[in-house]
Structure formats: C-alpha cells, structure tokens
Amino acid sequence: MENVNKNKLVKIIIASDHAGYELKEQIVKFLEEQNYSVNNLGCYSTQSVDYPDYAVKVANDVKDNTSFNKGILVCGTGSGMVITANKIKGIRAVNCLTKEMTEMAIKHNNANILCLGARILDTDTAINIVKTFLETKFEGDRHQTRINKIHNLTQI
C-alpha cells in the first residue's frame, strides 16, 4: 500500500505522434497498473499528426515542475521528440535505448523527459526503460553545476 501512495505522488505527462501511438498506449497501461498519476495528451490514433505539437505541450507542462514531475514522449525513433523538447528552457529530454543509458541520464543529467522510439524498441524494453526513468535518483552535487551551465545556454 505504501508503494501505491508513493507512485501517486509522481505525476507523469505522456504524449506521442501517430508512429508512437501504440507503444504509448502500452506505457500508459503499465503506468496506471503501477498506480502512477498519468495525463495522456494524445495523440489518440495512428492518424498522421505533427510530433513537435505534442513535444511542446509536454515540455511546457514539465518545465516548471508545477503540474508534472516527469514527461514521456514517443515517436518513431524518439529523435524528433527529443530535439523539439530540448528547445524549451528547463527541459532535459533524453532519447534512451537501454536501461543503462537511462540510469546515467537521470543520475548525471537529471533528465525530466524520456523520449522513446516505437520503431526501435519492443514493448518490454520500453517498459523497462520507463521503470528505470522513474525509479533512478539524481546524484546532484557536481552534476547540478553542469546542468546549470547547460541551461544557461538555452535561448528561450
């Protein structure tokens, strides 16, 4: 019961384009089964949409950390989503292919948006990456200094 309440404190916003729709739905199902608080911003079918529209919505909701602690974006490769999300100041989006990449992205970069490629990853691998993204803790210290330097480079 304690784990259920702990997971509810982590608020996750998720979105995808048409290529990532089916994987996103599987991730939403997993997160809800784990009792996370999830806001699914779409898309809601495999009909073609523009991924930047969804990346910006999620990034804007995560950047101030007032409504959502973490974001997840899914497209065909994860590349378009990560490029777009990182245009927003305060966002540290990462496109991860392995559990190890994800661990380091949190421990050293305090990533706040995870981008995934539905055409690259199978569902089980993607779910394991999501679990790692949510369970790994930021190490802080010298890494925070580096993150501050990165954010000072962001223009908008």
How buried is residue 155: exposed, middle or buried, by Cβ count under 10 Å (0-12/13-18/19+)? exposed
Homologous superfamily (CATH) of 2-153 is Sugar-phosphate isomerase, RpiB/LacA/LacB (3.40.1400.10)
More confident: 38 or 152: 38
Residue among 18, 108, 143, 151 flagged as catalytic: 108
Q: What is the CA radius of gyration of the chain?
A: 14
Computed over every residue of the chain, the mean pLDDT equals 91
76-132 pLDDT, tens per residue?
Answer: 999 999 999 999 988 999 999 999 999 999 999 999 999 999 999 999 999 999 999
Task: Give me the residue spans of the domains in the chain.
Answer: 2-153
- Alpha-carbon gap, residue 52 to 66, rounded angstroms: 22
Catalytic residue check, 143: no
Q: Find out whether the peptide bond into 96 is cis, omega within 30 degrees of 0.
A: no
More confident: 143 or 127: 127
